[in-house]
A and B are shown apart, each in its own frame.
Chain A
Amino acid sequence: MADKPKLSMYWAAACGGCEIALVNLNEKILDVDAAFDFMFCPCLLDTKKKDIEALPDGAIAITLFNGAIRTAENEEMACLLRKKSQTLIAFGSCSAEGCIPGLANFHTRDDLMKAVYLDNATIDNPGNIIPRPETEVAEGTLQLPAFYDRVRTLAQVTDVDFFIPGCPPEPHQIWNVVSAVIAGAPLPPKGGVLGAGRSAVCEECDRKKEDKKIAKLFRTYELVPGKEACLLEQGLICMGIATRDGCGALCPKVNMPCTGCYGPPEGVLDQGAKMVAALGSIIDIGDTKGLAEEEIFRRIDAVFGSIPDYAGMFYKYSLPGSILKGRIS
């Protein structure tokens, strides 16, 4: 067993869905086990941090790191696993781009603490206690990992070899990567994306696409979309146009617009900005020649006014990794 290459998986700020996705390989997990020594995964195995520290540098062949960097502990583990791994892969949207935890970047740390520990209707906290890195008690000093002001992606704290996008990555894509590695297939240059396409979800979506012009937007609950036509053309904001392909267009297949979890397509620096630019280009506000500026604004607002949360819509998965990164303080 010792001669098999070591495989590890670690979770930082994440929901655990990435581990589930790995387990969803089903019986293929046995192939993984046959090819690798799966030796570290706090969710599934009992290996401890000290066991990793005891390994020589580069002892782990591949680490799948899921989760964003929210706390000092996340960062510490990221750096440790970087040192101990030959190949460090940012696995899943949180680690690759920040994902849902990253939406917290629209608020300060203090706002977040206040919302969770003080203003929260379901919490009873008469002493107004907020977790701090160090707390003095009679027995000595209690320590908690520091909670950073900002969520960062894995690549923003350490050197990353590859990225596997998705919230979570689709099992068939995980298998594609694993089987390619087992077969010794050539990998793309460092920094590349594995287990996904180069284009956008529309590439894999079977819906019928026309030249786009959209006069009215709907929220998903307002419309039962037709089965044939592109959802975006029907007025549902489908992020598929600005989202990397690889998932197999699962959501549009079942009448749900893509929400963007595979992140930006190759070459796109900022998924949210791209989506906004594309939507701005295709909304239909009629002929504006000779119209007063206010009237043009009014028409634009009439189309976009129905979106309740721009940031949550366009940067749901990609805020920390985007050009924007978060709230400008």
Chain B
Amino acid sequence: MKTGVYFCKCGTNIADKIDAVKIRESLLRQDPGIHFSTVDFMCSEEGKEAVAKDLAENRVERVVISACSPRDHETTFMRVLSKAGLNPYLMQMVNVREQIAWVTEDSGRATDKADRYIRAAVRRVQLHDALQKKEIDICPDVLVIGAGPAGLKAALSIAGSGRKVVLVEKSPVIGGLPVRFEELFPTMECGPCMLEPLLGDVLHGEYAENIELLTMAEVTGVVGSYGNFAAKISQRPRFVDMQVCIGCAECIEPCPVSAKNTFNSGMNDRKAISFPFAGALPNAPFVDEKLCIALQGGECRKCREACPVEGAIIFDDSAKVFERNIGAIIVAVGSDLYDCTKLPQLGYGKLDNIHTSMEFERIMASNGPTDGEIRTTAGNAPASVAIIHCVGSLDPKHKEYCSGVCCQYAFKFNHLIEKKLPGTRVCHFYKELVIPGKDEFGLYHQARSNPQATFVRYDDIQNLSVAGGAEGTIIQYQDNSGKSGSVKADMVILCPAVVPAEDSGRLGTVLEAGQDRAGFFEELHGRLDSAQSKIRGVFLAGTCQSPMDIQKAMNQGMAASGYILSGLVAGRKLEIQPVNAEVDARRCSGCRVCVAVCPYTAISFDPEKKVAVVNDVLCQGCGTCVAACPSAAIKGNHYTNAEILAEIEEVLK
């Protein structure tokens, strides 16, 4: 087997340290048939051409490239091989520049080291298999789960490229959290107004036809892998036909049943048929099956009688199951807030006038339970408000991370209180203040210069306690200098830690996408690939991955769609790289050691044949299972035992 060794001098970078003549002599001693050739700059156009020509002229069958880091130029030289008609995997690259010339002082030792590495590569490359890339057909359509800012942005950009998007939203409304906020930090834009164009585009914009919106729906099953997933989506009945309903709201008033409105954190009532809140989109009410008299078998038909259009309210609507084929999935299910009753000393759920930030957002919203009026339970405007930051955040006993948005919305609250109720005292209790970004300082400075605002820094939330009494609500505290004090507040707002959405665990199981210690969807890489999960083809956007503000959520929605638009192109096949793992069924004992070790869940167990199976679309060739398999049943292509041992043996000779 004729092996060619191409030695790049890299100008003086390599040639100054490593003696090519000596290397050549040593190689010819190892095997007189070796073809050795030096090149000045192998990665230059002339260099590549020279190698390609030499390969053909000398009928070289295996190639060793002695040059720089494979990270720089492995693919460059693999292409040279392909051009010369050789299988590109019949090449082994030796990094004599970074690993030898640049780090080994003595040139004699550098040459000896290079000699060993190159001889090892020669031994190894002779064992290489001519691996072939596989290609599979793909479906370019996308499933987006969650219609908050992140999911909407992603859905729109993908639909805009002409692809089909299935947008699945659990609640009856789209827009996520911010459509419930009157104003948004940092620039105090109106939340619903800012999002309206986005929501409008999804519902009836230029590319709306490409988006299939399924509200009150959830993804209950996913099979397949990147390029070819099949998803099962279950939809609860809305009992209102969204195509027929004109959104006039005539049906609401006549409904005789009412219950707490969960969309306003239970602070007011809604009817059995209702809109979550005024202006909610899609502009059609939904019926709560458990409340509705008709759906519980009663006689009432009041809403239908009031409805001006025929067929909008359908009592015999039923749950539906949809099956959709898609090539990629974006998870954008957002987040929830930490349960404040886990910090009982703060009085939440026991004392009046203690609200979470979410409740306070609804109190301030003009379409909220109080029409935007800030009032205590007694109906008065509060003279003093305490805002407690970092509730459960940065706290090893609760959530160890910083939730990132609380300080900023707390200063937004400060601003709105000052605006709506001038002269109200506001006291901020905080552990840390976090306000990064180029615009975010504005509200902070405003709060600092509010003459009615005071700031108390605490070390541990255990040092704060809220008590009710005859004179009102009192907050006892010990600040971070050890000083104790108390503050009276007519209203207390808690800023709870941002936590993973209620059933992201279940969804994670359906998608086989892992969660981190805190329960957020785990990214492939925190810096390089935070919009990608470890499962190929499952992407992440928004606060389901980590707490973040709307700007970042939107950006991540775009990032996720960017991956899909560039990686999954209609008409183009998906390339499957051949450096992956393969199970030899005859050797596999079915012990199931390997199944759980794969970080990309590429391994499954075939219960019929009782052997492990690697899905080569998902396999990234990391080799974890190869090392784990105790019966050597898994082969790591391009990193076989024989290849690695030959290399080690020669280096140590």
Contacts and interface: CB of A to CB of B under 8 A. Distances in A.
B389 to A, nearest CB: 23
A52 to B, nearest CB: 38
Interface string A196-223: 0011111100000111110000000000
Interface stretch (B181-189, B533-541, B629-637): B629-637
Nearest to A278: B630
A81 B228 CA distance: 62
A278 B590 contact: no
B593 A278 contact: yes
B628 A278 contact: yes
Contacts of A203: 589-590
B630 A210 contact: no
Interface stretch (A18-26, A28-36, A105-113, A260-268): A260-268
A289 interface: yes
A211 B594 CA distance: 8
Given A198-B586, A245-B589, A213 B596 contact: yes
A201 B596 contact: no
Main secondary structure of the interface of A (DSSP, over half): loop
Nearest to B515: A287
Main secondary structure of the interface of B (DSSP, over half): loop
B246 to A, nearest CB: 51
A94 interface: no
A287 B517 contact: yes
Interface string A274-317: 11011011100001011000000000000000000000000000
A62 interface: no
Interface string B596-639: 11000000010000000000000000001001111111000000
Interface string A30-53: 000000000000000000000000
Interface in B581-595: 586-595
B461 to A, nearest CB: 21
Contacts of B629: 278
Contacts of A209: 590-592
Contacts, number: 91
A281 B591 contact: no
B589 A241 contact: yes
Interface residues of A, number: 32
B516 interface: yes
B591 A200 contact: yes
A274 B630 contact: yes
Contact of B631 (A265, A269, A280): A265
Nearest to A280: B628
Given A281-B624, A287-B517, A199 B596 contact: no
A242 B595 contact: no
A281 B630 CA distance: 10
A240 interface: yes
Given A268-B631, A269-B641, A281 B597 contact: yes
A212 B592 contact: yes
B589 A201 contact: yes
A57 B597 CA distance: 53
A202 B629 CA distance: 12
Contacts of A277: 627-628, 630
Interface in A149-186: none
Contact of B627 (A245, A275, A281, A289): A281
B414 to A, nearest CB: 32
Nearest to A274: B630
A240 B591 contact: yes
Given A212-B591, A281-B624, A287-B516, A267 B631 contact: yes
A248 to B, nearest CB: 14
A290 B590 contact: no
A241 B588 contact: no
Contacts of A282: 593, 596-597, 628
Contacts of B627: 277, 281
Contacts of B632: 265-268, 274
A267 to B, nearest CB: 3
B108 to A, nearest CB: 29
Contacts of B631: 199-200, 241-242, 265-268, 274
Nearest to B628: A281
Nearest to A238: B591
Size bracket of the B interface: 20 to 34
A269 to B, nearest CB: 7
Interface string B242-261: 00000000000000000000
B73 to A, nearest CB: 32
Looking at B586, B588, B595, B629, the one whose CB has the most chain A CB atoms below 10 A away is B629
B47 to A, nearest CB: 40
B598 to A, nearest CB: 10
A265 B517 contact: no
Contacts of B597: 281-282
A161 to B, nearest CB: 23
A109 B55 CA distance: 56
Nearest to A232: B591
A202 B591 contact: yes
Contacts of B628: 277-278, 280-282
A265 B592 contact: no
Contacts of A290: 400, 517
Contacts of B630: 200, 241-242, 265, 268, 274-275, 277-278
B597 to A, nearest CB: 5
Contacts of A202: 589-591
A199 B517 contact: no
Nearest to A267: B632
A212 B605 CA distance: 12
B593 A199 contact: no
Given A265-B630, A269-B641, A274-B632, A199 B589 contact: yes
A36 B594 CA distance: 46
A241 B594 CA distance: 11
A245 B588 CA distance: 11
Looking at A245, A266, A280, the one whose CB has the most chain B CB atoms below 10 A away is A266
B589 A211 contact: no
B496 to A, nearest CB: 21
Interface string B130-174: 000000000000000000000000000000000000000000000
A61 B596 CA distance: 49
Contacts of A267: 587, 631-633, 641
Contacts of B633: 199, 265, 267
B424 to A, nearest CB: 40
B605 A211 contact: yes
Looking at B586, B591, B633, B641, the one whose CB has the most chain A CB atoms below 10 A away is B591
Nearest to A288: B517
Given A265-B631, A278-B628, A211 B595 contact: yes
B595 A199 contact: no
B292 to A, nearest CB: 44
Contacts of B517: 287, 289-290
Nearest to B626: A277
Nearest to B588: A199
A284 to B, nearest CB: 9
A211 B592 contact: yes
Contacts of A198: 586-587
Looking at B517, B586, B587, B627, the one whose CB has the most chain A CB atoms below 10 A away is B587
Nearest to A282: B593
B318 to A, nearest CB: 37
Contacts of B594: 281
Interface string B508-519: 000000001100
Contact of A266 (B587, B591, B624, B645): B587
Given A211-B596, A267-B633, A290-B400, 4 more contacts: A265-B587, A267-B587, A287-B517, A289-B517
7 contacts: A212-B591, A242-B630, A245-B589, A265-B633, A274-B631, A281-B594, A282-B628
Q: Which 10 A/B pairs are nearest by Cβ-Cβ distance?
A: A267-B632, A281-B628, A200-B589, A242-B630, A265-B631, A203-B589, A278-B630, A202-B589, A202-B591, A200-B631
Interface of A: 198-203, 209-213, 230, 232, 240-242, 245, 265-269, 274-275, 277-278, 280-282, 287, 289-290
